[in-house]
Chain A
Amino acid sequence: MGLLDSVFKKNISAAPQKPADVAKPVETKKEVKPVADKITVGYTHLSGCTGCTVALADNYAGLLTLLDKYVDLKYMPTLADARHIQKVDVSFVEGSVCINDKLAVEEIKETREKSAVVVALGGCACYGNITRFCRGGQQNQPAQEAYLPIGDLIKVDVYIPGCAPSPQLIRNVAVAAYLLLKGSPEQKALATAYLKPLMMAADKGTSACFCDLMTNVINQGLCMGCGSCAAACPVRAITHEYGKPQGERDLCIKCGACYNQCPRSWFSFDVVSAYESINETIMAALQ
């Protein structure tokens, strides 16, 4: 155990757990300065379906708590009237980029310039997803044929894969981003450790497919047949034959959920072993 030892020392020892320990200072600080300590967030909507937006909204009261205590939403075409991309701490980007659409290309570049942290939200922004199958020829813009995940045009800091992404993962990343930017050193360490695999995913590349399970897990001698990939697949393209994934590739929409959910793609003992206290911290933060 490394990085998280300092954060979870209490929980690792035999002493009774105090779940709210990490979150409490955050809340007290909030009451003193309710707005100044919020992080600013933008939401850039490119070639996406707004399903990621809905997933964010599906945190229900959790979203309201986020907006209340931690996040100042500066720019989000679906929900707010700000017309232009704003300077923010964190930008969530939904959808891929149509490189035949000048405005889309400008917007993704501007998002990068104006954001400290860029988060690719959902399968399209991370990996192209269904827009990987685009090839133009439809009215009334038949020349709009080439779509790229945002990571092919700008540097992306964090991935939130999934089509649709899980509301809880968006929530966790938002809380972690807040702790990273506004938290105590311990909270920063926790947020960094939590976000690390999602940052590594962003560094790793912009393509995804069922084949990732073949090339990076099974072919590498790492698959142990747990079944996570089949559970994660949004289109039921994965079944298990004698305990090993069987992919229906013509069903696969290339979202990257299976590989990222696989415990043998990336797994941090430090973070996952502390699952109880991390979950409690997040829940306490959203009280």
Chain B
Amino acid sequence: MGAELGNYKSCVSARSTDKEILKHAQDGGIVSQLFGFALDEGIIDGAIVAANKEFAAKYPSKVMADNSNFDMIEPWRPIPAIVNTRAELIAAAGTKYNVSPNVSMIKEATRSFGLDKVGIVGTPCQMQAIRKLQLYPVGARDVGASIALAVGIFCMENFPYQSILQLVEDHAAMKMESVKKMEIGKGKFWVYGKRGQVVQLPLKVTHKYEQPGCKVCLDYVANLGDISTGSVGSPDGWSTVMVRSKIGDSVWAKAMAAGCFETQPIEKVKPGLELVSKLANEKISKNKATLEARATFGVGKALRNPYI
């Protein structure tokens, strides 16, 4: 194949030099540090991120009005939110392994939130959504040119909220409230408790809980982000970073010059790009097979293929 990692200008293993960010980050704190830097420099004037219940309670004006009944929001359920400060960024850091419709805020960010230069973080499908929106803005007047920095995160698959509930409370036998961190890595689904306990589930048990819409996705490493990042390929506490677009290149160069990141050449770290490629290929071939199966799903009837 060879195209599985998309086009990119450079690729490194990196982590933030900000200790406070690293304390709250999922991996190397790339997204928080990039947006923090971009906010400081005026590259963006706000960013759309996946926050949570505590964030919404603390910063109610930063989430959509229809999410205002905060009591109804469960722990570990992501809520798209606009952040304008480093404190808000840190409050929203960390991966939530269920669906956060971040793109739903992209127009509102340029309307009532009044942003001219919007940052957005999202999964590969969300990067696809915003690029489609930039080329074919159907209900998105003046939004495309306001997207100043899109950071894509690697994504193998996502889960509905109830799936995570099932995995954590049933399979891992932990209360959602007592979970400090969740992680998918090294072939396992890891749940870390606030009191230090760790439960690992084989990925096999998670498969039936995956979001069905993820099974037709042909992008692992967010090919359409300005910058893409994820844990795979780099050691614990570090992230693999791929710089893709002109915007991404310019922001990354400035952030490096400002000392925001420590880096190591990707060739020097283990397991490196080889594993990223392997997983990307696995995802793409598996999902291409799903798409092919959809073409003959019924008797003389196909399921719809969105890709033209």
A224–B211 CB distance below 8 A: yes
B213–A222 CB distance below 8 A: yes
B134–A226 CB distance below 8 A: no
Residues of the B chain whose Cβ atoms lie less than 8 Å from the Cβ of A264: 213, 216, 306
B128–A267 CB distance below 8 A: yes
Q: Chain A residue with minimal CB distance to B135?
A: A275
Q: Chain A residue with minimal CB distance to B226?
A: A276
Cα distance, A240 to B104, chains bound together (Å)? 8
Residues of the B chain whose Cβ atoms lie less than 8 Å from the Cβ of A258: 139
Q: State which size class the interface on A falls in.
A: 35 or more
Q: Give min CB distance, A22 to chain B, whole Å.
A: 15
B141–A227 CB distance below 8 A: no
Q: Give min CB distance, B266 to chain A, whole Å.
A: 17
Q: A228-B133, A231-B105, A273-B223 are in contact. Are A261 and B306 (CB under 8 A)?
A: no
Q: Quick check: is B232 within 8 A (CB to CB) of the other chain?
A: no
Q: Quick check: is A137 within 8 A (CB to CB) of the other chain?
A: no
A166–B306 CB distance below 8 A: no
A17–B308 CB distance below 8 A: no
B223–A257 CB distance below 8 A: no
Cα distance, A244 to B128, chains bound together (Å)? 18
Q: Which of B95-141 contact A (CB under 8 A)?
A: 98-108, 122-123, 125-126, 128-129, 131-141
Cα distance, A273 to B307, chains bound together (Å)? 13
Q: Which of B182-228 contact A (CB under 8 A)?
A: 211-218, 223-224
Q: Chain B residue with minimal CB distance to A234?
A: B139
Residues of the A chain whose Cβ atoms lie less than 8 Å from the Cβ of B158: 224-225
Q: Which of A216-234 contact B (CB under 8 A)?
A: 216, 220-234
Cα distance, A225 to B157, chains bound together (Å)? 12
The total of chain B residues at the interface (CB under 8 A) is: 60
Q: Quick check: is B66 within 8 A (CB to CB) of the other chain?
A: yes
Q: Give min CB distance, B47 to chain A, whole Å.
A: 15
Q: Chain A residue with minimal CB distance to B101?
A: A227
Cα distance, A89 to B146, chains bound together (Å)? 33
A161–B142 CB distance below 8 A: no
B103–A243 CB distance below 8 A: no
Q: Chain A residue with minimal CB distance to B161?
A: A242
Q: Quick check: is A165 within 8 A (CB to CB) of the other chain?
A: yes
Cα distance, A167 to B140, chains bound together (Å)? 9
Q: Chain A residue with minimal CB distance to B162?
A: A242
**B104, B139, B304: which contacts A162 (Cβ < 8 A)?**
B139
Q: Quick check: is A206 within 8 A (CB to CB) of the other chain?
A: no
Q: Quick check: is B57 within 8 A (CB to CB) of the other chain?
A: no
Cα distance, A276 to B147, chains bound together (Å)? 13
A243–B161 CB distance below 8 A: yes
Q: Give min CB distance, A15 to chain B, whole Å.
A: 12
Q: Which of A188-231 contact B (CB under 8 A)?
A: 194, 196-198, 200, 216, 220-231
B125–A197 CB distance below 8 A: no
Cα distance, A225 to B160, chains bound together (Å)? 9
Q: Quick check: is B7 within 8 A (CB to CB) of the other chain?
A: yes
Residues of the B chain whose Cβ atoms lie less than 8 Å from the Cβ of A243: 98-101, 160-161, 211
Cα distance, A224 to B126, chains bound together (Å)? 9
Cα distance, A275 to B161, chains bound together (Å)? 32
Q: Give min CB distance, B170 to chain A, whole Å.
A: 17
Q: Quick check: is A144 within 8 A (CB to CB) of the other chain?
A: no
Residues of the A chain whose Cβ atoms lie less than 8 Å from the Cβ of B308: 196-197, 200, 266-268
Cα distance, A244 to B212, chains bound together (Å)? 12
Cα distance, A272 to B6, chains bound together (Å)? 13
Q: Mark A242-267, 1 if CB is under 8 A from B, else 0.
A: 11100000000001111011011111
Cα distance, A216 to B66, chains bound together (Å)? 25
8 pairs, CB–CB < 8 Å, chain A vs chain B: A58-B141, A196-B308, A221-B212, A227-B126, A242-B77, A242-B98, A263-B306, A275-B131
Q: A residues near B, CB below 8 A?
A: 1, 12, 17, 55, 58, 161-162, 164-169, 172, 194, 196-198, 200, 216, 220-234, 239-240, 242-244, 255-258, 260-261, 263-269, 271-273, 275-276, 278-279
Smallest CB-CB A-B distances: 8 pairs: A243-B99, A227-B101, A232-B139, A227-B104, A257-B139, A224-B213, A225-B99, A230-B104
Q: A224-B211, A228-B132, A263-B306 are in contact. List 18 more A-B contacts (CB 8 A).
A: A58-B141, A164-B141, A168-B137, A196-B308, A224-B158, A228-B129, A229-B104, A231-B103, A231-B105, A231-B140, A242-B160, A243-B100, A244-B99, A261-B139, A264-B306, A266-B308, A271-B135, A275-B135
